[in-house]
Amino acid sequence: MGRDPGADEGFTIIETVTALTLVMITMAAAVPFFISSFQAVARQRNQQNAVQLANMAIEQVRGLKGSSLLTGRSAIKVKQQFSAAPAIVQPYLAKTFASSDPLLGATATSGDDAAVPTETRTLLWDGVNFDRTIYVGSCDVRVSGDCVGYDPDKNPPSWLNTPDDLQFFRVVVLLEWNNRACGSGRCQYVTSTLVARAAEPTFDIYRPSPTGPKPQQTAVFYKGFDRSVELKVEGGQLPNTWSVVDPLPAGLTLAGNGFVTGATTAGPLIQDYRVKVTEAPPQERNVTFPVTFQIVLMPTVTVATTSSRAGDPVSVQATAANGWGTKTFTADGLPPGLDISDTGLITGTATADGTYPVTVTVTDENQVTGTTKFNYVVYPGLALAAVPDQTVALGSAVSISPVASGGYGTYTYAVTNLPVGVTPNTSTGVISGVATVPGRYLPAITVTDALGNKATQSFVLTITTTTLLSFTSPDPLAPDQTSPAGKQVNLKATDNGSVLGLSPRITATGLPPGLELNPSSGNISGKPDTPGTYVVTLTSANLLPPQTSVLTFIWTIT
C-alpha cells in the first residue's frame, strides 16, 4: 500500500502547545515550595550565626578578670539598660540586682564605652545585621538557686566582707536580627552564664619554702662505725643546699646534698643539732631546723648456755644489748635438731653429740649487726643401767655396783630407801654393807655428772629372814597394789609376830590420800580420791625384844 502523502510525521502544533502549558503549570506550582525552602535555610543559618556570636561574646566576657566586669559601668546606665530589655531577657535579669547592685557607682553615668558596654552594638555577619546587648549584674541569692552571693536581708552583706565566700556575676547576652519568618519580623536569641567576681588566681611556679620534717628527724649513728644518713626536708626549690649551724659530733660531716657521713668517736648521746637548708635560685630562701642525733654502741649478743645433752629438750634465750630499735636474731652452725627464732630463742632437741662452731647474729632496725661466736657442745646423754632386783639374807653382805655412761665429767651418786647398815659410795656408786632390818626395800639410785645432769634407776632389795619378825601380808613377793579412785579399799597388813610370841605395832607412811591404817587391826581402808603413783612403806616394830621389819611397795590409784 502506498504512503499517504498528507500524513504528519511529528508532533502536531496542538500537542506541543499542550505540553508547554503543562510544564508552565508545574513550574508555577513549585515556586512557592522553593521560596519556602530558601527562607527556612536562611532562617536556620541566621539562628546558627546568632548562637555563634553569643558564644563569642560569652568567651570575650570570660577573658576579662571577674573583678573588671563592672569597670566603667554605672548604676544609671545599667538601670536604663535593664528597663529597656525585652521580655525574653527579663527572667534572667530577675536573678540579678540590676540597678541596685552595690558594686555600681550610684551617681556616674558611664557605661556605653565600658569593657562590657551597656549600649547595644550592631554586628554585620554573613550579610545580616545582628544587634548584640550584654547585661551584667551581681547574682541575687534570694531568687537564684545557682548563685551564692549577697543577701540584702543580712547586714552587713557577708560576701562583701568574707573573701572566702563564692561571689558571682550573671552575664546575659541577647542577639536580635530582622527576619520575616519570626514573629513581628524580629528574631531573638538569649544565652546566660555565671562569672566569678574574684580576681583571677596567681599561680606560683615555685615549691613552698623548705621546712623540717614532722615529727623531728632522728639521725642514728654508732660509735666507731662508719655510716651515712640522709637528712630530709619538705619543700624548697631544688636542689637544696645543706650546711651546719651547730658543729656536729666528732667524726661526722654534712655534705651539701644532705648526707651526714663518718665514724663518730662521740657517744653514747642524744642531742639536737641545728642545720640549715638553702634553696636554689631564684628563690634562695633558707630555713634552720633541729635534727636529733642519737649515737649508740654497736649491737652485741650473748648466749648464756652453750651446751646440752643429746636427746634433752633445749630452751635457751639469746639476749641483745645496745644497737637501735627492734632487733632480730639469726644463727649459723647450730647442732642438728636446734633452731633459733627471730626473737633469739634457741629451742629443739640436739640429736647428735659433738662440738659445733656457732655464730649468732643480731640485727637492729638500721640493719647494723653484732655477732658472737662460740662452740656449742652436745654431750652424750647421761644414762644409768637398770639394776636387777636383789635378794640378800639378813646378816649377809650387800654389794651392788650401778653402771653409768655418757654425760660429762665425773659422776656423783646418791641412793635413797636403803636398809639400815647399807650405804653407797658417792664416787663409785657401789652399794655395800650388812642390813640389820629385814624387809622389802625400793632403793632409788641417782647419778649426776659434772654439768648437773641426772639419771635415776630404782630396784627391789629384799632382806630375808626365817626367824625374826617379818610381814606376811600383803604378799612380800608381790605387794604392789592398784585401786580405782573413789572406790572402797580394804587391805589387811599382817606379820608373823603372834607366831614368834611378839606384840608388834604396824605403822604406814606414803598412803594415797583417802586411805588410813588402823594400828590395832592392821587394816588399811577408805576411798582413795587422788589418782597417782605412791610409794608406801609399812613398818612392823616390837619393843621387847626389839625387832623391826619393813615392807615397801607401789600403790597405783587410777
* pLDDT of 101 higher than 80: no
Q: Which three cell numbers stand for residue 395?
A: 646378816
pLDDT of residue 472: 96
- Whether residues 50 and 171 share a domain: the answer is yes
In a domain, 207, yes or no: no
Q: Is 51 helix (H, G, I), strand (E, B) or coil?
A: helix
537 within some domain: yes
CB of 460 within 8 A of CB of 505? no
Does any domain span residue 283? yes
Q: Please tell me the least confidently modeled range out of 69-73, 91-95, 160-164, 288-292.
A: 160-164
Judge if 264 and 367 occupy the same domain.
no
Residue 353 lies in a domain: yes
Average pLDDT over residues 476-501: 96
Encode pLDDT of 289-308 as tens digits: 999 999 999 999 999 999 98
353-364 average pLDDT score: 97
Q: Which residue has the higher pLDDT, 347 or 26?
A: 347
Average pLDDT for 62-79: 82
With a threshold of 0.95, does the pTM exceed it?
no
Contacts of 381 (CB under 8 A, 6+ apart): 309, 310, 311, 312, 353, 406, 407
Whether 446 and 492 map to the same domain: the answer is: no
3 located within any domain: no
Contact 477, 449 (CB under 8 A): no
Domain limit, last residue, from 143, 163, 196? 196
Judgement on whether residues 69 and 114 belong to the same structural domain of the protein: yes
CB 88 within 8 A of CB 54: no
Q: Please report the pLDDT score of residue 451 as a whole number.
A: 82
Question: Within this chain, do residues 285 and 306 fall inside the same structural domain, yes or no?
Answer: no
- Say if 203 falls within a structural domain: no
Tell me the backbone φ, ψ of residue 219, rounded to 5 degrees: -105, 115
The residues near 18 (Cβ < 8 Å, ≥ 6 apart) are none
Q: Is pLDDT at 151 greater than 70 in this prediction?
A: no
- Residue 210: the pLDDT is 86
Final residue in a domain of this structure, among 443, 463, 483: 463
Helix (H, G, I), strand (E, B) or coil at 62: helix
- Using CA atoms, how far apart are residues 115 and 67, in angstroms rounded to an integer? 12
Q: What pLDDT does residue 107 have?
A: 66
| Count of domains for the chain | 5
Q: Is residue 360 part of a domain?
A: yes
CATH number, domain containing residue 527: 2.60.40.10
b vs e for 73-96, b when ≥16 Cβ sit within 10 Å of the residue's Cβ? bbbbbbbebbeebeeebeebbebb
One domain for residues 340 and 472: no
pLDDT at position 35 over 90: no
For residue 507, give the amino acid letter: T
Asked if residue 156 and residue 124 are part of one domain, the reply reads yes
Mean pLDDT across 300-327: 94
Q: Which residues make Cβ contacts (< 8 Å) with residue 549, sequence separation at least 6?
A: 437, 438, 439, 468, 469, 470, 471, 495, 504, 539, 540
Q: What is the rounded CA–CA span in Å between residue 252 and residue 228?
A: 9
Question: Residue 24 and residue 381: Cα distance in Å, rounded?
Answer: 133
Could you give the CA distance from residue 298 to residue 363 in angstroms, rounded to a whole number?
10
Three-state DSSP class for residue 506: strand
Expressed as residue numbers, the domain containing 498 is 467-557
Last residue of a domain, one of 415, 447, 463: 463
pLDDT average, residue stretch 59-78: 83
Q: Are residues 107 and 160 in the same domain?
A: yes
**φ, ψ for residue 191 (rounded to 5)?**
-140, 160
Position 240 pLDDT exceeds 50: yes
Whether residue 154 is predicted with pLDDT greater than 60 in this model: the reply is: no
Please give the average per-residue pLDDT across 142-155, as a whole number.
Answer: 53
- Higher pLDDT, residue 399 or 184: 399
CA dist 192 to 46, 77, 170, 173, Å? 19, 20, 7, 6
Max alpha carbon distance in the chain (Å)?
195
C-alpha cell at 533: 603413783
CA distances from 108 to 295, 487, 521 (A): 75, 120, 137
Q: What is the pLDDT of residues 520-554, one digit of tens each?
A: 899 999 999 999 999 999 999 999 999 999 999 99
* Residue 532 cell numbers, joined: 597417782
Q: 20 — alpha (psi -120 to 50), left (phi > 0) or beta?
A: alpha
249, part of any domain: yes
**Do both 514 and 397 map to the same domain?**
no
Q: Check residue 2 and give its pLDDT.
A: 47
213 prior amide bond cis, ω within 30:
no
- Same domain? 44 vs 179: yes
Domain shared by 323 and 373, yes or no: yes
3-class state of residue 554 by DSSP: strand
CA–CA separation, 515 and 517 (whole Å): 7
Domain check: are 148 and 68 in the same one? yes
336 or 27, greater pLDDT = 336
